[in-house]
């Protein structure tokens, strides 16, 4: 994928008039947004408003769902990521993902990092990569003496940091995080939030979260999505307001945003 030099490097993704359909059902309508490079962007909103759907559009993970399709345009540093010339597997290598439930491989801590890197053709020194990735994910000190133990032997919070280390080991440019702390206790959540603050120096991060305090603590930009009832009795998501996080929480321009962030609905 070529990166156009004429594009403002401050923008990682540009989303234009993008809608997403599961079969004939439009799940999200007409999203426009510019996601900044090396910042944290949070997606908030009530259940079913399409936050995860939009998130998965950024690395084309939705491509794997039969009958689903996208309309509109998403560019990454000026390149249309849905252009036929873009290889979705290479795109997903550059745009990594961390899921809600920590999902380490049933392999050793070491292999959790080394496995994906090897598959992606990493030729450097594996011990160095494993250590560097675990350090970046703020896990090294806790696991350095038991790298041969199973990744599944770690606590939930450690497992999630292992998954972040695994994602980082492939040297992506972007980390998509779909409710990465919802299965974690408050202390592990804070560790992951601190980690995100460190990682944003090197990575563009987009996080879906149900936790508004988390969005206000960690993110630079916040997108508030909502859903409206459709004539057929379903729901259709849309982007209500997208602005710097301070503004969304302290001075939102839309009544619905104000109601949501003040806990009046959702
Ligand atoms: N694989 C799928 N097949 C069909 N419909 C889907 C699929 N995934 C999501 N949907 C529908 O798309 C809509 C948006 O779902 P999505 O998971 O993106 O919302 P969300 O805001 O992330 O919700 P939550 O906060 O509950 O995770 C919902 O109506 C959901 O039922």
What confidence score (pLDDT) does residue 182 get? 87
pLDDT tens per residue across span 95-142: 999 999 999 999 999 999 999 899 888 999 999 999 999 998 889 999
Q: Which domain holds residue 85?
A: 11-262
- Domain contains 44: yes
Q: Given ligand 1 and candidates 20, 23, 25, 27, which is best to mutate, with the most ligand atoms within 8 Å of its CB?
A: 27
- pTM, entire model: 0.92
User: How far, in Å, from the CA of 82 to the mean position of ligand 1?
Assistant: 21
**169 domain residue, yes or no:** yes
Asked whether 35 and 41 are in contact (CB, 8 A), the reply is yes
> 242 alpha carbon to ligand 1 midpoint, in Å?
20
In a domain, 4, yes or no: no
Helix, strand, coil percentages for the chain (3-state, nearest 5): 35, 30, 35
Q: Does a structural domain hold residue 5?
A: no
Question: What does the alpha-carbon distance between residue 8 and residue 1 come to, in Å, rounded to a whole number?
Answer: 17
Q: Which of 48, 56, 57 to mutate to test the pocket of ligand 1 (most atoms within 8 A of CB)?
A: 48
Nearest CA to ligand 1 atom 3: 22
156-169 and 109-119 helices cross at what angle (nearest 10)?
A: 30
Taking Cα atoms as reference points, which of 89, 133, 79, 86 lies closest to residue 110? 133
The residue contributing the CA closest to ligand 1 atom 5 is 22
Split into its structural domains, the chain has a count of 1
Asked if residue 81 is part of any domain, the answer here is: yes
- Would residue 111 count as lying in a domain? yes
Model pLDDT, residue 6: 41
Supply the DSSP symbol for 134: H
CA 181 to ligand 1 center in whole angstroms: 19
Q: What is the CATH number of the domain that holds 132?
A: 3.40.50.300
Which pLDDT value is given to residue 4? Answer: 43
Question: Which stretches of the chain score pLDDT less than 50?
Answer: 2-8
What gap in Å lies between CA 89 and CA 93, rounded to an integer? 6
Nearest CA to ligand 1 atom 12: 27
- Determine the pLDDT at residue 133: 93
Residue 143 CB contacts under 8 Å (≥ 6 apart), including other chains: 109, 134, 149, 154, 158, 162
- Cα–ligand 1 centroid distance for 71 (angstroms): 17
> Which of 102, 183, 91 has its CA nearest to residue 137?
102
Mind giving me the DSSP string for 219-255? -SEEEEEEEEE-TTS-EEEEEEEEEEHHHHHHS-SSH
178 belongs to a structural domain: yes
Ligand 1 atom closest to 53 (CA): 18
């Amino acid at each position: 994928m070529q990166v156009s030099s004429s594009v403002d490097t401050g923008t990682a993704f540009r989303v234009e008039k993008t809608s997403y359909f599961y079969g004939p059902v439009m799940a999200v309508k007409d999203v426009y947004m510019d996601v900044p490079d090396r910042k944290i962007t949070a997606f908030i909103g009530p259940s079913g408003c399409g936050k995860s759907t939009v998130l998965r559009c950024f690395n084309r993970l939705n491509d794997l769902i039969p009958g689903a399709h996208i309309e509109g345009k998403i560019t990454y540093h000026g390149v249309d990521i849905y252009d036929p010339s873009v290889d979705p597997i290479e795109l997903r290598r550059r745009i990594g993902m961390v899921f809600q439930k920590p999902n380490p491989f049933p392999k050793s801590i070491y292999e959790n990092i080394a496995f994906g890197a090897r598959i992606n053709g990493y030729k450097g020194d594996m011990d160095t990569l494993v250590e560097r990735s675990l350090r970046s994910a703020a896990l090294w000190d806790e696991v350095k003496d038991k790298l041969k133990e199973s990744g599944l032997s770690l606590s939930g919070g450690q497992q999630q940091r292992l998954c972040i280390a695994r994602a980082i080991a492939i040297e992506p440019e972007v980390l998509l995080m779909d409710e990465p702390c919802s299965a974690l206790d408050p202390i592990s959540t804070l560790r992951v939030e601190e980690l995100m603050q460190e990682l944003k120096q090197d990575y563009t991060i987009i996080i879906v979260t149900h936790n508004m305090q988390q969005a206000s603590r960690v993110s630079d930009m916040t997108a508030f999505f909502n859903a409206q009832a459709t004539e057929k009795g379903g729901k259709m998501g849309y982007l209500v307001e997208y602005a710097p996080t301070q503004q969304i929480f302290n001075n939102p321009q839309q009544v619905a945003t104000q109601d949501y962030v003040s806990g009046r609905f959702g």
